[in-house]
Structure 1
Amino acid sequence: MTSSQNFPDTDDVTVVIAPDSFKGTATAEQAARWLGEGVRSIIANANILIAPMADGGEGTSEIFEGERITLPTTDAAGRLTEATYTFNRASATAYIDVAAASGLPAVADSPCAATGDTYGTGVLIADAETRGAKRIVLGLGGSATVDGGTGILAALGVTGLNKEGYTLRHGGAALVDLHDFDTAKVNIPAGAVEWFLLTDVNAPATGPTGAARVFGPQKGAIPEEVEVLDAAIARLCEVTGVDPTTPGYGAAGAIPVGITWLSTLLHGTSDNVHVVSGARVVADSLGLPEQIASASLVITGEGKYDSQTAAGKVVSVVQELAETSDAVVAVAAGVLDTEVPEGVIGVELAPVSEVGSVEEQLRRAGAEIAVNYLNISTVQG
């Protein structure tokens, strides 16, 4: 697969490559570049546009323009760490990934779904406000906790209390005993910012498809902890008056619940909280809809293409954006755990043990996609 001499003319082929990161193996930028190199090995004169994507998970804040701020904070288990976010002074906007301080990889050695919290993310939020942030764009993917955002609230001066008036223990499981909040020391300027919460799922806060039951096990929660956490988030919703069935409020261990309650407390309305698709916000910021409109081939991808992909992940959003165009769509994935839609090219990466590196995996996938695209073009005339 080194030339396109047996295929139709390719002078006008525009290829948009917009993958998510392949977590733990390739960043979105690397994946896009290596897929592009594979495409170019087959379609040498293709016009390739690289658009590394994210959906609110790790790496989202890096996509936006601004100063990169690094400071000491804590991880989900309460251990000292450092985390980085992006601050755009001109727009008074901070772009913060929950995964930066409260992400799962940092506590992979000791999962803490029931006892961990998002305090470290709250430290970043408070710091951003001191620098002049009036708007927080919070990426909700990749969290290690199910605390309903109460760790963030604690960092902003709000602590949960039990019925005896004592401060609750750290973590989501303790919320089963939540009775009220102590707001005497609330950081009003930080809590009163405008919030854009970028979700990669449409899950509600509680129930069979909620924060605990679906995502708790992925964060290391055992069955008994899952049951406690679901009850704990239900109790949090009861105390805060937040509807637990609201789509997207199960993201990042139900962080939108705590944020919505705090903003409503300070403003008297939840109008300053916007729960939106992270992938769509990133796509718009990159001008991806316009790029796709003029594309011949659109390539996206992720580590595992499965039943959760359709719930707001990068791949599903890119597919939706391409529906109104004439472009052929392709998906490269480490694992294709479910069938791609009809008409979409699906390519599963070859095992690293066979090809030697992730870079070569993605290059070969890009080349295979290009061959399939040209075959489709030949059939269609």
Structure 2
Amino acid sequence: MTVRPMTFVLAPDSFKGTATAHQACEFLSAGICEVLPDATIIDAPMADGGEGTSSLFAGSSVTLPTTSADGMLIDATYTFIPAHDKEPATAVIDVAAASGLPGVGDKHSPLTSDTFGTGVLIADAVERGAQRIVLGLGGSATVDGGTGILVALGATPMDHRGYMLRQGGGELRNLDFIDTAQLNVKAAAVEWVLLADVTNPATGPKGAAAVFGPQKGASAEDVDILDAGISRLCTVCDINPTTAGFGAAGAIPVGLSWLSRLIHGTDSQIQLQPGAPFLAAQHRLAESIAAADVVVTGEGRVDETSFGGKVVGCVTELAATADTTAVVVCGSYEATQHPTEVYELAPDMEVAEQMRAAGRELARTYMQG
């Protein structure tokens, strides 16, 4: 009797600090093929809007000089996708590429850090013909409500005296109006798709400053200042601060929603979506999983939040719907729920060998089962 080769779908997130999602697929695949050389392997590296999201889209990589969240000159890369099949030219940009925590120094100040560098990438993409901006919101080092992006696009936050505010969220308490005399209308008019992995509101005890500010170096006093600033920005921009997801990336959705509404009069050209399901839909992951024997996902540390709109939760839900076996590979598993098989990486090895060993182990398991 001829035995059909097994099909594995590999859909991991990045293992932060150790392996990208692409590398995780490569290492796991190598391990599986050592045991099952005839296996069909479908690589489907994933992200949820954080660092690495842009690299998962097919297109041209564009690298240019810009500034970090702290204003230092850096190079950052995004993906440009030309118009095709009635789809507009699209730029996929990670906020983390220019305005992320890895790019800030030891003297990072959450009160003055801003998203201007991300705005430079957006302006460049529009100059190249982008009519849609897909913005991955994870991993930012800022709590500025997206005002740095606005400045880069010609919309300037001003105080009541008509002076431009200093950069960052610390000065937003003094915001009186936003001057649009120099607005880059072409950039402001694009279609915006904002990818987030959180549902936090803009302000309050679960807001951008209170929850994520400390991760970006904010003291308790800083958090109060930043929360007051985002609250003032919401008031000036006529944005409901309790809107779910508007706390993502230091409340970037607040500034961009105001900008899009300014041009179009409605919110029709801006949407905030969970990042992992968006990536899964773009790459038709549900179809691949339905045709597979086993789907493998994972990240460095799996905890309760991993099942709340992030990659691991998204992939395991798709597997459950398709009645396909799901496996989670991770460095540590700290969640109380066990909806699937879990393989924790063996310690004291290089990450490549850790993942190859995990691939071999799960291949042996399903070869026997």
Does the 8 A contact of 2:62 with 2:79 survive in 1?
yes
Q: Which residue of 1 aligns with 2:41?
A: 48
Does the 8 A contact of 1:304 with 1:336 survive in 2?
yes
Residues 166-185 of structure 1: pairs in structure 2 closer than 5 A: 166-185=163-182
- Secondary structure (helix, strand or coil) at the match of 1:237 reads helix
Distance of 1:114 and 1:11 partners within structure 2: 59
| C-alpha deviation, 1:12, in angstroms | 4.1
Q: 1:110 to 1:360 in 2, by over 3 A?
A: farther
2:273 partner amino acid: V
Which of 269, 275, 294 matches 2:266?
A: 269
Distance of 1:33 and 1:73 partners within structure 2: 31
- Secondary structure (helix, strand or coil) at the match of 1:323 reads helix
Which of 61, 71, 74 matches 1:81?
A: 74
Q: Does 1:362 align with 2:355?
A: yes
Does the 8 A contact of 2:304 with 2:336 survive in 1?
no
Q: Which residue of 2 aligns with 1:152?
A: 149
Distance of 2:151 and 2:212 partners within structure 1: 23
Q: Does 1:39 align with 2:32?
A: yes
Q: Which residue of 1 aligns with 2:64?
A: 71
Q: 1:373 to 1:241 in 2, by over 3 A?
A: farther
The TM-score with structure 2 as length reference comes to 0.94
Distance of 2:73 and 2:14 partners within structure 1: 26
Distance of 1:89 and 1:57 partners within structure 2: 23
Q: Which residue of 1 aligns with 2:13?
A: 20
Q: Which residue of 2 aligns with 1:325?
A: 322
Distance of 1:313 and 1:131 partners within structure 2: 31
Distance of 2:133 and 2:327 partners within structure 1: 33
Gap runs ≥5 in structure 1 = 1-8
| C-alpha deviation, 1:369, in angstroms | 3.2
Does the 8 A contact of 1:17 with 1:49 survive in 2?
yes
2:109 partner amino acid: C
| C-alpha deviation, 1:136, in angstroms | 0.7
Instruction: State the aligned residue count.
Output: 364
Distance of 2:207 and 2:34 partners within structure 1: 44
Distance of 2:190 and 2:153 partners within structure 1: 12
Q: Which residue of 2 aligns with 1:163?
A: 160
Distance of 2:361 and 2:218 partners within structure 1: 39
| C-alpha deviation, 1:337, in angstroms | 2.1
1:180-201: per-residue Cα shift (whole Å, max 9, x none)?
Answer: 1111111111011010111122
Q: Which residue of 2 aligns with 1:121?
A: 118
Distance of 1:139 and 1:10 partners within structure 2: 43
Distance of 1:111 and 1:314 partners within structure 2: 29
| C-alpha deviation, 1:61, in angstroms | 1.3
1:348 partner amino acid: E
Q: 1:217 to 1:371 in 2, by over 3 A?
A: farther
1:350 partner amino acid: A
1:132-151: per-residue Cα shift (whole Å, max 9, x none)?
Answer: 11111111111111111000
Q: 1:274 to 1:249 in 2, by over 3 A?
A: same
| C-alpha deviation, 1:269, in angstroms | 0.8
Residues 1-381 of structure 1: pairs in structure 2 closer than 5 A: 11-90=4-83, 91-342=88-339, 344-351=340-347, 354-355=348-349, 357-373=350-366, 377=369
Gap runs ≥5 in structure 2 = none
Distance of 2:290 and 2:160 partners within structure 1: 57
Q: 1:286 to 1:213 in 2, by over 3 A?
A: same
1:286 partner amino acid: H
- Secondary structure (helix, strand or coil) at the match of 1:120 reads helix
1:358-379: per-residue Cα shift (whole Å, max 9, x none)?
Answer: 101111222333345456x3xx
- Secondary structure (helix, strand or coil) at the match of 2:322 reads coil
Does the 8 A contact of 2:46 with 2:311 survive in 1?
yes
- Secondary structure (helix, strand or coil) at the match of 1:201 reads coil
Q: 1:254 to 1:245 in 2, by over 3 A?
A: same
Q: 1:10 to 1:328 in 2, by over 3 A?
A: farther
- Which has the higher mean CA deviation after the structures are superposed, 46-55 or 252-261? 46-55
- Secondary structure (helix, strand or coil) at the match of 2:154 reads coil
Q: 1:372 to 1:236 in 2, by over 3 A?
A: farther
Q: Which residue of 2 aligns with 1:5?
A: none
Distance of 2:302 and 2:107 partners within structure 1: 27
